[in-house]
C-alpha cells in the first residue's frame, strides 16, 4: 500500500507519560508514516510540552509537526514560535484556530485559522508545509455548511498545502465535502482523519462535543456490548477497517490516525489494510 500515513499524539504531562510515548513512537515507526503530529492545548497551554514532544520525535529520526493554534495568541508570540521551529529544523506545521481556555475572554490578535496561515506565509514564505483542519460534518460553530466550506477555502487560499479532517464514521460525508471543495476550486489534498475505537463511552462524549456523528446503527451496537471491552474492540476494528477500505478505494490521498498515544489499534488497522 503506497498510501501516505500520518499519526497524531498529544503531549504527555509527566515523565512517565513521555517514556510511554517514546515506546509508542518506536512501535508505530514500523508503519513509516509521513509525519507524526503533536497537538497544542487551548490558548497555547501546552506550548512547551508540544515543542518538547516534537523534538523528542525528531531526535528519534522521524518527521514531526507541531500543531499551532492562534486563539489567545499574539503576532509576536507566534513569530517567536516560528523562529524556534526554524532553528530546530521543523518544516511542517498543523495550523488551527483552536479554542479559548475556560475563563479566558480575549481571543487575541487572530480570530480565524486563515489569518494564522496568512501570517505564517507573510513571516516565513514557503519555509513550512502547512496543514489545516477540515470538517466533513461541518464545524459545530459554523452557521451553515456553505459558510464552513467557504471558511475552509479561505484557509487554503491563504497558503495551506494540505488539510486533515476531523474524524468521522460516515464516508458519504467526507466524499460530499471533498466534492463540494473541489467545486469551489480547492485542489490541495484533503486527508481523512481516522479515530480508532477503544472506549465507546469516551468516544460518544467527545463526539457529541466536537460535532462528529456516530451513526445510530453503530451507537446502538456499541451500547449493546455494555462493559464488554473485547466485543467493543473487535467491532470497532471491523467498522474502522471498512471505513478506511472504502476511503482508499474512493481515492483518499492518505489516512491520518488519531492514536490517543496508543499503538495497538492503529497497528492492527494498518495490518488489516495491508500496510
User: What is the C-alpha separation between 78 and 61, in angstroms, rounded?
Assistant: 26
110: phi then psi, degrees, rounded to nearest 5: -120, 140
Q: Which residues are catalytic?
A: 8
Angle between helical axes of 216-225 and 229-249 (0-180°, round to 10):
160
Asked whether the beta carbons of 58 and 88 are under 8 A apart, the reply is yes
- Is 14 exposed, middle or buried (CB count within 10 Å of its CB: 0-12, 13-18, 19+)? exposed
Asked whether the beta carbons of 171 and 210 are under 8 A apart, the reply is no
Angle between helical axes of 15-28 and 47-59 (0-180°, round to 10):
40
What residues does 96 pair with on adjacent strands? 69
E strand intervals along 89-222: 92-96, 129-134, 162-167, 190-194
Asked whether the beta carbons of 32 and 62 are under 8 A apart, the reply is no
User: What is the C-alpha separation between 133 and 99, in angstroms, rounded?
Assistant: 13
Instruction: Give the SS3 label for residue 113.
Output: helix
Among residues 45, 55, 44, 47, which one has the least CA distance to residue 21? 55
User: What is the C-alpha separation between 171 and 200, in angstroms, rounded?
Assistant: 19
Amino acid at each position: 500500500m503506497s498510501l501516505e500515513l500520518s499519526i497524531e499524539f498529544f503531549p504527555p504531562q509527566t515523565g512517565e507519560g513521555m517514556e510511554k510515548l517514546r515506546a509508542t513512537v518506536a512501535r508505530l515507526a514500523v508503519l513509516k508514516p509521513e509525519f507524526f503530529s503533536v497537538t497544542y492545548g487551548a490558548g497555547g497551554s501546552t506550548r512547551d510540552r508540544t515543542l518538547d514532544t516534537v523534538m523528542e520525535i525528531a531526535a528519534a529520526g522521524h518527521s514531526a509537526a507541531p500543531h499551532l493554534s492562534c486563539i489567545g495568541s499574539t503576532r509576536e508570540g507566534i513569530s517567536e514560535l516560528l523562529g524556534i521551529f526554524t532553528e530546530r529544523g521543523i518544516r511542517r506545521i498543523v495550523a488551527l484556530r483552536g479554542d479559548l481556555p475556560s475563563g479566558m475572554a480575549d481571543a487575541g490578535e487572530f480570530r480565524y485559522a486563515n489569518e494564522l496561515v496568512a501570517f505564517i506565509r507573510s513571516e516565513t514564505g514557503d519555509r513550512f508545509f502547512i496543514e489545516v483542519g477540515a470538517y466533513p460534518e461541518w464545524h459545530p460553530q459554523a452557521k451553515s455548511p456553505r459558510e464552513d466550506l467557504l471558511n475552509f477555502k479561505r484557509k487554503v487560499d491563504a497558503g495551506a498545502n494540505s488539510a486533515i479532517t476531523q474524524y468521522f464514521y460516515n464516508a458519504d460525508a467526507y466524499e460530499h465535502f471533498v466534492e463540494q471543495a473541489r467545486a469551489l476550486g480547492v485542489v490541495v489534498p484533503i486527508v481523512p482523519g481516522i479515530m480508532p475505537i477503544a472506549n465507546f463511552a469516551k468516544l460518544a462524549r467527545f463526539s457529541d462535543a466536537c460535532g462528529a456523528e456516530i451513526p445510530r446503527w453503530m451507537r446502538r451496537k456499541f451500547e449493546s456490548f455494555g462493559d464488554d471491552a473485547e466485543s467493543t474492540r473487535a467491532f470497532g476494528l471491523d467498522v474502522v477497517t471498512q471505513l478506511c477500505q472504502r476511503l482508499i478505494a474512493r481515492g483518499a490521498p492518505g489516512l491520518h490516525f488519531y492514536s490517543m498515544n496508543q499503538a495497538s489499534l492503529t497497528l492492527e488497522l494498518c495490518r488489516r489494510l495491508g500496510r
